[in-house]
A and B are shown apart, each in its own frame.
Chain A
Amino acid sequence: MVEGSIVTIGVVFGAMFLGLILGVPIAIGQVYGKPFLRKIIAVYVWFFRGIPLLVLLFLFYFGFLPLLGLNLPAFTVASIVLGLISSAYQSQIFRGAILSLPEGQLKAARALGMSDFSAICNIILPQALRLSIPGWSNEYSIILKDSAVTYALGVPEIMARTHFVATRTYEHLILYATAGLLYLILTFAGTKALRILEEKVRIPGYATR
């Protein structure tokens, strides 16, 4: 089950990371992009937020990927699918953070002669990402729990290992209680780490919320 925890952590980190690197540009596109781009993004977000995780996992693992001739391991597919879903949610966290910044920040950057790209990289993102950490913490705990569903693909994560042992030993109560406890510990560790990060990058002069 400890090995299962490592797999779970791997899936969750992979998903969070993919969600981050896709979510940031998606959010920027949605806030600053042309109407056409915004429409495409809206459809993307709708798609990944609207379909249940289990359906998406099967759709990708047994549907899309084999159709494309790709035969990826369950672990990878689980990380990618969770990551794509997370990118939809994370993009909305970042979008909210960007929109919460005063309009004057971008204006002041432009007034200095900065290009929009430079203003977004140097002025908007550093502030928006800081504001996103609490939302990110929330997203982490959701993905962590969602990762249990990837058991259905046979990813050897906490849930799969627990089930495997339980069918042999019949110690259901103790085993599933342990699994629950592992998730609780991982949630605590992750949110705590993000809390520390939040404190570390806090802009002096602002109170912590």
Chain B
Amino acid sequence: MTNRDPILKIENISKKYGSKEILRSISLEIKKGETKVLIGPSGAGKSTLLQCINFLVMPDTGKVYLDGRCINSRKKKELYTYRQQVGMIFQDFNLFDHLTALENVSIGLIRVKKIKRSEANERAMQELKRVGLEEHANKYPAQLSGGQKQRVSIARALAMDPKVMLLDEPTSALDPELVGEVLNVIRNLVESGMTMLMATHQINFAAAVADEIIFMENGTIIEHGPPQEILFKPKNSRTKSFCSKINEIYGDMLT
């Protein structure tokens, strides 16, 4: 495999809820080390797409390839192995509430990768350090701030050594003053060469870190390309109006 081959590729993913089409034949691919950002209005289908990629939501049609291998989601073993390699970060963290920060990070290692508890804890501690939370290792989720919780959830995903990470609006549930600490962690991931697909409304952050921005609306990809192009000279009028709206809300950039 060369660097030119995509590490993750999805082909014609469609999803309906009842008769409502949420995703209409979405295709995209990500190469190793790339960061792609999904933007689009609420209800565009960003979360559904991300969850279809690791089959937390079963797509109606379409294929997902990891490292060139088509994933058969009906084979349980194959599905579980695939999911281990795809890290997922949720908007509302979804930390396991009955476990400490450390246990949240180590449980995947112990129960999924079957690593010895002592080794797993050591590794979990390293990951907590990486997100700056080693002092909070023994706290429970309810004792952490939103920003800290999201960082634990990033550590939890990283501990599994994922090949790709999917991030669904990782800062949307946070108070404004906590957004920065999480974005810093994500920026470090970008710099360390992690491959990522991230939905976000943080346009300025996206502009800074993304190799490509994908604009989605009504379950279709309207336009995609380098940040400068999508944000400054979008070809499509819908992209244009969305970016200027986002700009009004989040203010400080694109000027």
Contacts and interface: CB of A to CB of B under 8 A. Distances in A.
A103 to B, nearest CB: 9
Contact of B108 (A104, A113, A206): A113
A105 B94 contact: yes
A50 interface: no
B111 A205 contact: no
Contacts of B160: 112-113
26 contacts: A102-B92, A104-B92, A104-B93, A105-B94, A107-B51, A108-B96, A108-B153, A111-B54, A111-B56, A111-B83, A111-B88, A111-B157, A112-B107, A112-B156, A113-B82, A113-B84, A113-B85, A113-B112, A114-B112, A115-B80, A122-B107, A122-B111, A203-B97, A204-B142, A205-B140, A205-B143
Interface string A173-209: 0000000000000000000000000000001111000
Contacts of A104: 90, 92-94
B84 A108 contact: no
Contacts of A122: 107, 111
A115 B76 contact: yes
Contact of A127 (B97, B112, B156): B97
A108 B96 CA distance: 8
Nearest to B88: A111
A130 interface: yes
A205 B83 CA distance: 31
Contact of A112 (B84, B98, B140): B84
Contact of A107 (B82, B94, B98): B94
Contacts of B131: none
Interface string B33-57: 0000000000000000001001010
Interface string A77-108: 00000000000000000000000001011011
A109 interface: yes
Interface of A: 102, 104-105, 107-115, 118, 122-123, 126-127, 130, 203-206
B95 interface: yes
B72 interface: no
Interface of B: 51, 54, 56, 76, 80-88, 90, 92-98, 107-108, 111-112, 139-143, 153, 156-157, 160
A206 B88 CA distance: 26
A127 B140 CA distance: 13
A108 B97 contact: no
Given A112-B84, A114-B80, A105 B96 contact: yes
A114 B157 CA distance: 13
Contacts of B108: 112-114
Contact of B98 (A110, A114, A127): A127
A110 B111 contact: no
B147 to A, nearest CB: 16
The 4 closest A-B CB pairs, nearest first, are A205-B142, A113-B84, A104-B94, A108-B94
A126 B140 CA distance: 14
A123 B97 CA distance: 9
B205 to A, nearest CB: 23
A118 B56 contact: no
Given A107-B90, A112-B112, A113-B84, 11 more contacts: A105-B94, A105-B97, A108-B88, A111-B54, A112-B108, A112-B157, A112-B160, A123-B96, A130-B98, A204-B140, A205-B142
A203 B97 CA distance: 8
A206 B143 CA distance: 8
Contacts of A203: 97-98, 140, 142
Contacts of B112: 112-114, 118
A112 to B, nearest CB: 4
A109 B96 contact: yes
Contact of A204 (B76, B92, B143): B143
Nearest to B142: A205
Contact of A206 (B85, B90, B142): B142
A203 B96 CA distance: 11
B94 A102 contact: yes
